[in-house]
Amino acid sequence: MKANLTIESLRVDYKQRDQQITALNDVNFRLAYGTSASLIGPSGCGKSTLLNVLAGLNRNYRGKVLLNGESPQENDRTALILQDYGLLPWKTVWDNVKLGLQIKGMAKKECEIKTEEILRKLGLLDLRKRFPNQLSGGQRQRVAIARSLVLEPELLLMDEPFSSLDALTREEMQDLLLRLWQETKLTILLVTHNIEEAVFLGQKIFVMSTCPGTIIRELENPLAGDYSARGKVEFWEMAASLRSSLRRS
Ligand SMILES: Nc1ncnc2c1ncn2[C@@H]1O[C@H](COP(=O)(O)OP(=O)(O)OP(=O)(O)O)[C@@H](O)[C@H]1O
Ligand SMILES: [Mg+2]
Name which of 163, 162, 130 is nearest 145 in CA terms.
Answer: 162
DSSP-derived secondary structure letter, 43 = T
Helix-, strand-, coil-residue percentages of the chain, each rounded to 5: 40, 25, 35
- pLDDT for the residue numbered 16: 83
| Percent with pLDDT over 70 in the chain | 99
Give the atom of ligand 1 at the shortest distance from the alpha carbon of 50: 18
pLDDT in tens, 159-187: 998 888 888 888 988 998 999 899 888 99
Does residue 14's CB lie within 6 angstroms of at least one atom of ligand 1?
yes
Residue to substitute in 48, 53, 57 for testing ligand 1 pocket (most ligand atoms within 8 angstroms of CB): 48
Atom 7 (ligand 1) nearest CA: 14
Rounded distance from Cα 45 to ligand 2 centre (Å): 8
Contacting residues for 21 by C-beta, under 8 A, at least 6 apart: 13, 14, 211
Rounded distance from Cα 49 to ligand 1 centre (Å): 6
Does residue 163's CB lie within 6 angstroms of at least one atom of ligand 1?
no
pLDDT in tens, 104-145: 899 999 999 999 999 998 899 999 999 999 999 889 988 999
pLDDT in tens, 180-206: 899 888 999 999 999 999 999 999 999
Name the average pLDDT for the chain. 92
- pLDDT for the residue numbered 166: 86
- Position 50 pLDDT exceeds 90: yes
- pLDDT for the residue numbered 83: 79
Q: CA 229 to CA 231: how far, in whole Å?
A: 5
Domains assigned to the chain = 1-75 (no CATH), 78-170 (3.40.50.300)
- Position 93 pLDDT exceeds 90: yes
